[in-house]
Amino acid sequence: MAGLPKPAEVLPHREPFLLLTAVTELDASGSAKGYWTLTGEEPFFAGHFPGRPTLPGVLMIESIAQLGAYAVLSNPAAAGKLPLFGGVDGVRFRRQVVPGDTLLLEVELGRLSARAGRGSGKASVDGELACSADLLFVLADADAVT
């Protein structure tokens, strides 16, 4: 699907916590693909770990979740809602991710109700799986969140 909105046009996240560079595919079934390009200038690399910069695993999960939130918020039924983490299951880390890598992201949304949903996602680099997780989320009213 060409011409998809930029992540900042759909998500409420902003720098330095917008962990999604672009969305490349989105379909009505709730699947999406995108990526996060790691420049090496991200401040967390300086401390995680000095001399061997490594993307923190929790940020990989967050980037997958942001792609999932993009898919949810692209559905007109979610207008005025804000997807929030409800839980993460089955997380597996398989590969170190370092500065200069592009994290390719994929999500598949499962059950989605007016109040909550599920999805699964994965992140890979150069065709090699880096992380996979099952996500649970709740939908809050966006204007009620401060």
Determine the structural domain holding residue 32 and report its residue range: 17-144
- pLDDT tens for residues 53-62? 999 999 999 9
- Residue 136 belongs to a domain: yes
- Residue 11 belongs to a domain: no
- pLDDT tens for residues 61-80? 999 999 999 999 999 989 89
- Residue 5 belongs to a domain: no
1 pLDDT band, cuts 50/70/90, is: very low
Q: What is the reported pTM?
A: 0.95
Closest to 19 in 3D by CA, of 114, 112, 131: 131
For residue 77, count other CB atoms closer than 10 A to its CB.
10
Element (H, E) at 128: strand 128-141
- Residue 126 belongs to a domain: yes
- Residue 1 belongs to a domain: no
- Residue 124 belongs to a domain: yes
- Residue 12 belongs to a domain: no
Catalytic site residues?
48
CA neighbours closer than 13 Å in the CB half-sphere of residue 15: 5
Q: What is the pLDDT of residue 141?
A: 94
- pLDDT tens for residues 84-123? 999 999 999 999 999 999 999 999 999 888 899 999 999 9
CATH assignment of the domain containing 96: 3.10.129.10
- Residue 37 belongs to a domain: yes
- Structurally, the chain folds into a number of domains equal to 1
User: Which amino acid, 22?
Assistant: A
